[in-house]
Amino acid sequence: MSQREMAVVGVIVLLLWTSFVFPLSYSSLAVDRTTESSTDVIDNLKHQINRQSYQPPPTVDEEVEVAIPIDTGATPNVHSENYSGSFVVDRRSTKNGQQYVHGSMAMSDVRPFLNATRANRIRITNTNTSGDGRIASGVSEISADRLHERGLTGENVTVGIIDSDFRPSHPAIASQVGGYATIDPDGDGKHGTAVASVVVDTAPNATLQLAAVGTTTTSEEYADAVEWLQRSGADIIIDAGSYYAHPENETSELTRIAEGAASDTVFVTSVGNHAGRYWSGNRSSDTWVSFQGDSQMNPLNDGKPLSGTVQLTLRWDGWPRTTEDYDLYLFRAQPGTDAVVAQATGHDGRPFEHLETTVPEGRYYVSIRSKSDTVTTNQLELFANHELRYRSHGGQAAPATASGVIAVGAIDDESVKSFSARGANVVAPDLVAIDGITVEDGTSFSTPYVAGASALVLASNPGATPTDVRTALFLTAEDVEANGIDDQSGYGMINATRAVDYRNSDSRSQRTDPPNSTR
């Protein structure tokens, strides 16, 4: 039990005890004791205590200089009802045929400014802010802190980050943000900001370029993000996401885009969090798909109660378009007839379905239904964010399958984490330390350690190629799990100091690519 949970339980016990010793009104916590069970009262108290103790994430309000690309002769069109800040235009310029408006605004206004204007790109040319003072402990675990002591901090290296969205004004990253593109942003920006904070912790003086693509990304949007990052001077591109609603093989546009970028840019991505949360198989003769034997129900969390967010993605053969159609259902097990709590039944021709919902505590299972009377040999793949009772080995998602990328898994205490998917090249911790933002662990937060370590290698060796960086990281990784290269941990856990020293030693000329490397 965490310290926060212990504190909440302690407060609840104290409140329940004092209710018998002293008359106490619960009106301030809006609890109706006459209509709620004791369990409801405790849950309500937890919710109210958490809500009253919530503090919004900090922001940086210092003024920064910005450059905004515009159409010829245009001026950013600010909709005042959506933006209450101020943008002072200083001058205009033209570079490589692109016109820019230069000016200044508060760092905390950058994100709302883009949301309220027709502009969707902004280049931050001068910042004078400081971080939040917290450093993720994984920095020392990969030995990056020793390089900081030598004065190697990622200076003159640019790291481009693709995520759903960001909070550029968060003090953990604001000082290093050099640009922000809103291609199709959505979400609260917590995930992207946490990823960026680990890059900054690992390579404190690297410049960040942030590309927000939202939680559902088309191949066109993805290409736009990658191209913008490359035009912005990214030496490294990191995408900590896994795109289950895209094929993982050579038919995937995302895979081709990542492979193209990896030829001249270090490209780092997450291997995914679906180990134990993946199933693959074929439809039998029945309309409802059998997961194992005759079982047409696949319980989540091995049939034990769960609550919170449930995410499910189903994909099948037939990319990019198919007439085959399958529906995805989430049931809640209960006395009598089980209830459908969510379903994904739309079909636009692409062979996938996705659902996401929030559920109260209960037992839940997944079922898949075919819309066709004809039995096919389609391979079905199911990805979940909770463990499945019936599961399969393997399962990969773009862009981790692309040739030339570095696919990263998660490790803790020299053991690969149970959720870390197979197919990793290397592993790293998934530890995050950032004010005002709480995130779950996952390979998303192992990935930025590898990107940061890559920045340190490039800072020490500015002429190193992407292959040079991969070789240095792979051949100096510390072997974990099974001896040698394996599909759980790849080459092992990265060691930033050893990677830099390898590139600085005479041994770098003896081998240009890791042995038996598949990426």
Q: What is the pLDDT of residue 57?
A: 55
Average pLDDT along the chain:
81
Over the stretch 286-309, which tens digit does the pLDDT of each residue have? 789 999 999 999 999 999 999 999
Q: What's the pLDDT band for 81 if we cut at 50, 70, 90?
A: very low
Provide mean pLDDT across the span 374-402.
Answer: 87
Question: What pTM was estimated for this model as a whole?
Answer: 0.76
Q: What is the pLDDT of residue 292?
A: 93
Over the stretch 283-292, which tens digit does the pLDDT of each residue have? 877 789 999 9
CB 121 within 8 A of CB 68: yes
Say how far apart CA 420 and CA 427 lie, in whole Å.
9
Provide mean pLDDT across the span 13-31.
Answer: 37
Strand-pair partners of 279? 382
- Compare 192 and 73 and report the one with higher pLDDT: 192
Taking alpha carbons only, the member of 213, 139, 5, 1 closest to residue 445 is 139
Over the stretch 422-478, which tens digit does the pLDDT of each residue have? 999 999 999 898 888 878 789 999 999 999 999 999 999 999 999 999 999 999 999
Tell me the two tokens of residue 66.
Answer: 């910005």
Q: What is the pLDDT of residue 322?
A: 85
- % of residues, the chain, pLDDT over 90: 51
- Compare 183 and 493 and report the one with higher pLDDT: 493
- What are the structural domains, with CATH classification, of the chain? 3-53 (no CATH), 58-129 (no CATH), 132-273+396-519 (3.40.50.200), 278-384 (2.60.120.380)
34: pLDDT strictly greater than 90:
no
Number of other CB atoms surrounding residue 351 within 10 Å: 23
Q: What is the pLDDT of residue 61?
A: 65
For residue 515, whether the previous peptide bond is cis, meaning omega lies within 30 degrees of 0, is no
Provide mean pLDDT across the span 26-47.
Answer: 35
Q: DSSP secondary structure string, 488-508? A: TTBT-B--HHHHHHHHHSGGG
Catalytic center residues: 163, 191, 444
Residues contacting residue 7 through CB under 8 Å, at least 6 positions apart: none
